Amino acid sequence: MSPLDRCLVAADNARRTLAGASIASRPCPQPGAPPAQALDDAQRRLSGALMRVNHVGEVCAQALYHAQALATRDPALRKHFERAARDETDHLAWTQQRLRELGSHTSLLNPLWYAGAFGIGWLAGRSSDALSLGFVVETERQVERHLQGHLERLPAADQASQAIVQKMKEDEALHAEQAEQAGALPLPQPLRWAMRAAAKVMTGTAHYL
Ligand SMILES: [Fe+2]
Ligand SMILES: [Fe+2]
């Protein structure tokens, strides 16, 4: 593909992500047994807020991976990012479907999150391939810890959301491992702190908006 074609693909992905038109290529993870009891209103609201935060994370994952794929000049690395982005598309579609089932909504600020993450992904991608991969490792590890926290906070009765979050956590761990194997450089500590602070603002806001 020419650079222009790749820009058009990235623009189309942004449109699909923000329009909620992403389609999963793997079936949505299901709990082992049917739910023993229905969620009450408070549980449903909490699950909706947590799954909205996770959906925002997946909107950002789309933006980051597509920006990094666009920014690298290495065709093999571009393929690596595109492969990971396909897993993230599944996460995006699963969390969106679950939000719908919970009667909740996606974040009103998704265009803002997407634009910000795309800019950061582009800068990471242009810095160097090894640092771009290092950024993936740090992001995926932070997301993995965040998802573990959500597994502990989701209502015990909401096994449908838990099954999705559990599978996402496994995929994010794999993405971090694959980026490490592809030659990631560790990021400087201040940058990791900055990423954690930015993620805190994002997750704190998406809980409500
Ligand atoms: Fe993900
Ligand atoms: Fe990931």
Dump the DSSP string for the chain.
--HHHHHHHHHHHHHHHHHT----SSPPP--SS--SS---HHHHHHHHHHHHHHHHHHHHHHHHHHHHHHH---HHHHHHHHHHHHHHHHHHHHHHHHHHHTT----TTHHHHHHHHHHHHHHHHHH-HHHHHHHHHHHHHHHHHHHHHHHHHS-TT-HHHHHHHHHHHHHHHHHHHHHHHTTPPPPPHHHHHHHHHHHHHHHHHHTT-
pLDDT exceeds cutoff 80 at 153: yes
Average pLDDT over residues 110-136: 94
**Among all ligands shown, which has an atom nearest to the Cα of 139?**
2
Q: Given pLDDT bands bounded at 50, 70 and 90, which one contains residue 98?
A: very high
Question: pLDDT at position 57, please?
Answer: 95
For residue 172, the CA-to-ligand 1 centroid distance in Å is 6
For residue 173, the CA-to-ligand 2 centroid distance in Å is 7
* Tens-place pLDDT, residues 174-196: 999 999 999 999 999 999 999 89
For residue 61, the CA-to-ligand 1 centroid distance in Å is 6
Q: Given pLDDT bands bounded at 50, 70 and 90, which one contains residue 133?
A: very high
For residue 36, the CA-to-ligand 2 centroid distance in Å is 31
Q: Given pLDDT bands bounded at 50, 70 and 90, which one contains residue 54?
A: very high
For residue 101, the CA-to-ligand 2 centroid distance in Å is 23
Average pLDDT over residues 59-81: 95
For residue 130, the CA-to-ligand 1 centroid distance in Å is 21
pLDDT exceeds cutoff 90 at 9: no
